[in-house]
Structure 1
C-alpha cells in the first residue's frame, strides 16, 4: 500500500527522481525539456512529461505541477501519489493520462513562486504585442507591496497601509491589487513579464504535441496558497455562462467557482494557463481548471511573496537571510505535515476521478 506522505519530497532533485521512477514503473513514456539554468546544487532543471496511453488518444486527462515553482512541492507529490496508487488503471479504454512535472523548474528548485526572470508564469500567457492590463491598485501600493527591507518597523508600516487600503476599498480590491499581476515593474512582486518565458514556450510545445489529436481534454493545474488549510477549490477562469464552464460543472458540479464571479479564493487574473489552453485548444471539448489547496492565512502568504521578492532583488541565494526567507516562502506554499499531505491527496484524487467523466 502506498504511503502518501512518502510521495512528497524535500528538494526539487528528489522530487524529479521520484517522479521519473514512478512514471517508469507505471509504464509511461517520458520526455524531458531541459532548462538552461541549474539548480542550487548544480543539478539539471527540466520540465518532464509522462504519458500513459495512446499517442493519438481522442481523450486526454492532464495534471500540471509547479506552474508556480515552489508550489511544485505539493503538485509533484500528488502526481507521484496518483501514479503509485494506480490512477492510470482507471482511464477509459483508448484515452491517455499526461503529467507535466515542474512547469517552472527554476522556481521549484530555488523555492520561488516566480521563474528565473522574476515572472509569474500564470500571468505570462497574454498577448505581449497588445496593451497590457492596468492595475491601478498596484501602482498606488507599489512602494509598500515591494518592501525596501525586512526590518520590523518597515513591515509594520507596510501592513498598516495595506490594511487602510482594504478598509477603504474592500478586501477583494486589495487582493486584486496584490495578486492580479502587473507588467510595468520587472523587479516587483507579481510581474507578468514583457514577453513569453522559457516555461511559457515549453508548455506551448507540450500542449501542441500531446493535445493536438485529442477531441476531449481535462486539464487540472495544481496550486497552493489560497483558501483554508488543506481545502482544494476548483477554480475556473471561464465565465459562468460559457460552454467551458458548463462542461466543468458537468464534471464537478457546484464545486467549480469562477474568477469572473463572486466566491472564488482567486482574483480574476490575466495571462493564466487555463486561459491559454482555452485559446490554444479552441474547438475542442476542454475542461481546464486550477485546483488550489489552502496552506496558511492569506496575510502570511502575501508577506512570504514580499519577503521573497526583497531577497531576490538583494542578492538572492547569496544574501545572508536567504535560508530564513526561503523557509518562509516554502512554508507558505507547502505544509510539510502528514495530515495535510493525506488531505490534499484525497481531494486531488477525488477531483481527478470525477474528471475522467470528461473523457467519455
Structure 2
C-alpha cells in the first residue's frame, strides 16, 4: 500500500495509535482529553490534540475529525497523512495549526455516528436552556424513520412512506425532516440531546486552550456521507451575505455552498460545530465549515443509520446482527478504497493549504 491510502486505519485504536505516532515524529505538542468510557476492547478513548506553532499565535488553522464518530476513519487518515508529510512545517510567524483527532471518540470506536448518549454531536451546540427547535416533518415520519424492525416488509413500508412524503412536500422537505435534527425522540436518529454532552464540553475547552489568543481562526471539520463519491463540498452554515461565506468563497471557490439558501448537499442544521467556535471566540474573525465528502448513495446511508439505531435499541454489541450492521454503518461513511482515499486527501490538502494562505490575508 502506498500514497495516501497507507495512512488510513481499520479501527479507532489503530487510527489513534497512528495519529499519535505521526504527531510525535513531527514534533507536535500533544494533549489528551480522555473520555470516561472505553472502547469495545476496553481501550482508552480520547480526543487528542496535536499542535504546531506558538501558544500566542494570532492566526490558527484547526483541522478536526470524528465529529460524527464513524466518519473519523476518513478524517483521521487525512490528519495522519498531513502529519507524516510535514504539512505544518515552516509555518509563517504568529501562525499555529491544531489537529483535533476524534472529537467524538466513542462513536468512532463503536462504529456509530452518534455519541454514548445517542446524541448527534453536530446538533448539540445550542442553548439548551431555551426551547429546542421543532422538526414537524420528523414528528410526522418518526415511525418510518425509526422502524421497529429490519424485516424486508417493514423496510419497504418505511421507504414507501418516506417517498410519499417527498412526493407531496418535495425532496428538500424530505431531507430536512430526515437530517435537520430533532430533540423529542431520545432513542431516534438525529437526536440533538437536551444538554451539552462530553464532546461538546471538551471541544469548547480545546478551543479556549488552543485558540484563545487568536485573532483569526479557520476550522475545517472533515465529514462524510453526503454527495457524489469522493466529491468534496465545503459547507457554510452562514448566509451568502455573511463575511464568513465571502471569505470561504474567496479562498476555496465554488465548492463552498451555504445551507441557509438551500444550495448545499446538507440541510441547515441548528446546533452545529461552527456555533461553538463563534461562541467561544467572540469578537474574533472565525471561519468554520464542514468539508463533506460523498461515499455511497443517500438511500444506502439512510438504511445504515436506521439499522444502526435499531441495533442500539435492541441489544447493541450483544445483538447477533451487531457485526453485520457495524460493517454496514462503516461502509456508508468510509469508502475503503485507495482511489477514494487519494481523492479526499488531495482535496483536503488543497483546502488547508489555501486556508493557511488565507490566514495571512
TM-score by length of 2: 0.98
Question: Does the 8 Å CA contact 1:2/1:85 hold for their aligned counterparts?
Answer: no
Question: Does the 8 Å CA contact 1:92/1:359 hold for their aligned counterparts?
Answer: no
What is the SS of the residue equivalent to 1:265? Answer: coil
Cα offset for 1:94?
A: 2.6
CA distance in 2, matches of 1:228, 1:200: 29
Match of 1:173 in 2: 173
What is the SS of the residue equivalent to 2:89? Answer: helix
Question: Does the 8 Å CA contact 1:2/1:84 hold for their aligned counterparts?
Answer: no
The Cα offsets for residues 182-234 of structure 1, whole Å up to 9 and x where unpaired, read as 00111011100000000000000000111110011110000000000000100
Cα offset for 1:64?
A: 0.5
Match of 1:81 in 2: 81
Cα offset for 1:89?
A: 2.1
- Identify unmatched segments of 5+ residues in structure 1: none
Match of 2:147 in 1: 147
Match of 1:265 in 2: 265
Structure 1 segment 79-158 matched on structure 2, within 5 A: 79-89=79-89, 91-158=91-158
Distance 1:2 1:97, change over 3 A: farther
Structure 1 segment 161-240 matched on structure 2, within 5 A: 161-240=161-240
Cα offset for 1:279?
A: 2.5
- Identify unmatched segments of 5+ residues in structure 2: none
Cα offset for 1:176?
A: 0.5
Cα offset for 1:249?
A: 1.9
Match of 1:256 in 2: 256
CA distance in 1, matches of 2:253, 2:144: 40
Matched, 1:59 2:33: no
Match of 1:3 in 2: 3
What is the SS of the residue equivalent to 1:87? Answer: coil
Match of 1:330 in 2: 330
Cα offset for 1:254?
A: 2.9
Structure 1 segment 209-358 matched on structure 2, within 5 A: 209-358=209-358
CA distance in 1, matches of 2:294, 2:132: 30
Aligned residues: CA RMSD: 1.1
TM-score by length of 1: 0.98
CA distance in 2, matches of 1:247, 1:275: 17
Cα offset for 1:90?
A: 5.5
The Cα offsets for residues 80-138 of structure 1, whole Å up to 9 and x where unpaired, read as 01111121125322311100000000000000000000000000001100000000000
Question: Does the 8 Å CA contact 1:216/1:358 hold for their aligned counterparts?
Answer: no
CA distance in 1, matches of 2:350, 2:2: 17
What is the SS of the residue equivalent to 2:30? Answer: strand
The Cα offsets for residues 228-258 of structure 1, whole Å up to 9 and x where unpaired, read as 0000100000111112212222211232100
